Structure 1
Amino acid sequence: MNDETRKRTSGIDRALQVMDILTERQTPMSAYELAKSVGAPVSTIYRIVDDLVEREVLSRADETRIWLGPRLMRYGLVYRSQMNMFAEARREMLALSKRTGETVQVCARDDGMMVVIAMAEGEGHFRVTSYVGTRVPLNWTASGRLLLGHLPDAERLAAFRKSARSSQTGIAETDPETLAQQSRDDYLQRLALQTGNSEYSVACIAAPIRDPDGVCVSTMSIVLPEQRVFERLEELTGEVQRAAEAVERALGRRAA
């Protein structure tokens, strides 16, 4: 690899780091803040930001702060339109929310994080802070555990060793071995339950959406107030599992 190729690769890596930081923080940031976050010289980040703004990959939120640009939305919409799983999952998500009156989310894995990729809000005044695009560590959520459940034991354990973090509520399990076993158990029973791990007084009932090879590609989850979960646990457990299975059938997976 020659020097020019190394420089070009480094520039691509820096650009991706900038976009990853903005996505993770979900707020506009200054070039100085971005440089500190990615550990790069401010002059390098200024140059990258200028190039990406010119190409509409980034945009200027105001005179000093940078935000994601409209070109990313075009890419994302085209990519998402080709995802049969997403289209089927969204349809089932909307139907499930209508049947139950509860908030329903579809979540996927982004390396060591769980990300909300679709959401239908339920009836009433209950609101959650995890909207579309929210990323949290895998060990904080029922969905996060399911998303690793199909992996071999060693890979599952290594993933939790790398990604497990303490939650803001202090309730989320952080021991990798405990998480690895719980993840496998949840996957095998096609159900995971959490209460208060990432948000106080918020519960989640999740089921895996598996492809024909058994890989958990996403999850279907019902999010509701903690005090209501046990009143409707049996009903909602069946509902969320049936919705996830409907998506699996559309993906070509046969019933076990």
Structure 2
Amino acid sequence: MSGLDRFVAVLSLYSETADVWSVQEMANALDMPASTVYRIVRDLVKASFLEPATSARYRLGSAFPRYDRLARNTDPVVRAGSSLLHEIVHQARVPCVALLSRLCNDMVMCIDHEAAKDVEFEWSLFERGRPIPLTKGSTSKVILAQLPAQQRKKLLTSKDSNGSAAGAELSQKGEFFTFIRKQGYHISYGEIDPTLIAIAAPISVPEMGLAASISLILEDKTNNEDLERRLVLLLVSSASLLTEQLRRSEVTEIIGQSATG
């Protein structure tokens, strides 16, 4: 295991239910010598990825909020779309949560969200920083539909695809993804939470290496045919606007680089 892999292994131990660890606990969990883990922890503390807690234990350090702020301020989709989420929630006029999500290496992750003030349903599974299952829900499927067939198949059949059997089955449904791509949106009903539906539209800017989506999560009990039609139009137009903004920003950046070069 390389040095970087060891650092990642230690940090991967942390979760919402296991937020402090001692060196010996880490060593037991990772099957490593305590002396090796101690050196890793020492380096992680020095770089502010960990910090001392009580009883000779360690918690996540200040590097994470610092880099999260940097990621928010430099992610092109967040910069272009964050204010748009607020407007979408306002125009939806129903209790809902709007998400910006994108493909990050081998996973789909929510990178920004906006919730209406009157939302009463549980939506923590969709908040920023949460990986979204590749094989479930319109948020991921709209993104998968943008990818070349070989890349999509590789993602869905990998060991990290949230269920290899479901991923392998979905990877064979090329016509399904072609339909989503041509339709320009997708609606899923109860795939992640049986009480919720999700409507998603694609944000595809391959010249920037971006495969993303904008989606609305709402309760199935509030849905009806007229509302669904209106929300689809709202999302598709918003996704189109955001895609165009991203493309213009890319052209502007290229022109700026040419001028300074």
Band the TM-score falls in, shorter-chain normalisation? 0.7 to 0.9
Q: Is residue 92–residue 246 contact of structure 1 (8 Å, CA) maintained in 2?
A: no
Uncovered stretches (5+) of structure 1, i.e. residues with no partner:
1-8
Is 1:217–2:206 an aligned residue pair? no
Please identify, of 128-137 and 235-244, the stretch whose mean Cα deviation from structure 2 is larger: 128-137
Provide, for residues 30-83 of structure 1, a one-character-per-residue CA deviation record: whole Å limited to 9, x for no partner.
255655665644443332123212331123454365433212222232233223
**Cα deviation, residue 157, structure 1:** 1.4
The question of 1:114 aligning with 2:108 is answered yes
Q: In structure 2, what is the Cα distance between the partners aligned to 1:230 and 1:246? A: 26
Cross-structure match for 2:185: 191
**Please, which of 11, 14, 28 is the counterpart of residue 19 of structure 1?**
11
* Count of paired positions: 239
Secondary structure at the counterpart of residue 193 of structure 1: strand
Query: What is the distance in 2 between the residues matched to 1:20 and 1:183?
Result: 33
What secondary structure, in the 3-state scheme, does the structure 2 residue paired with 1:252 have?
A: helix
CA gap of 1:63–1:179, structure 2 versus 1, over 3 A, is: farther
TM score, norm. by length of structure 2: 0.78
Aligned to 2:238: 243
Preserved contact between residue 156 and residue 167 of structure 2 (Cα < 8 Å) = no
> What one-letter code is carried by the residue in structure 1 that aligns with 2:176?
Q
The 2-side partners of 1:61 and 1:241 are apart by: 47
Q: Distance in 2 between matches of 1:84 and 1:49?
A: 33
1:147-226, aligned counterparts within 5 Å?
147-162=143-158, 163-166=160-163, 175-178=169-172, 180-211=174-205, 213=207, 216-226=210-220
Partner amino acid, structure 2, of 1:12? L
Q: CA deviation at 1:238?
A: 0.8
* 8 Å Cα contact 1:150/1:215 also seen in 2: no
Q: 2:223 aligns with which of 218, 229, 252?
A: 229
Alignment-mate amino acid for residue 156 of structure 2: F
CA-atom RMSD, angstroms? 2.9
What TM-score results when the alignment is normalised by the length of structure 1? Answer: 0.79
The equivalent residue for 2:257 is none
Fraction of identical pairs, as percent: 22
Partner of 1:136: 132
Kindly state the Cα deviation for residue 21 of structure 1 after the two structures are TM-superposed.
4.7
Q: Tell me how far apart the structure 2 counterparts of residues 193 and 33 of structure 1 sit (CA, whole Å).
A: 44
Q: Which deviates more from structure 2 when the two are superposed, residues 152-161 or residues 50-59?
A: 50-59
Does the CA contact (< 8 Å) of 1:139 and 1:160 recur in 2? Answer: yes
Larger-Rg structure: 2
Distance 1:82 1:54, change over 3 A: same
* Runs of at least 5 residues in structure 2 that lack an aligned partner in the other structure: 249-261
Question: Partners in 1 of 2:68 and 2:131 — Cα distance?
Answer: 17
Q: Which moved more, 1:148-157 or 1:91-100?
A: 148-157
Q: Distance in 2 between matches of 1:173 and 1:250?
A: 33
Match of 1:55 in 2: 47
Within 2, Cα distance between the matches of 1:62 and 1:71?
Answer: 19
Structure 1 residues 177 and 65: alpha-carbon distance in aligned structure 2, compared to 1, 3 A threshold: same
**29-38 or 235-244: bigger deviation:** 29-38
| Secondary structure of the structure 2 residue equivalent to 1:147 | helix
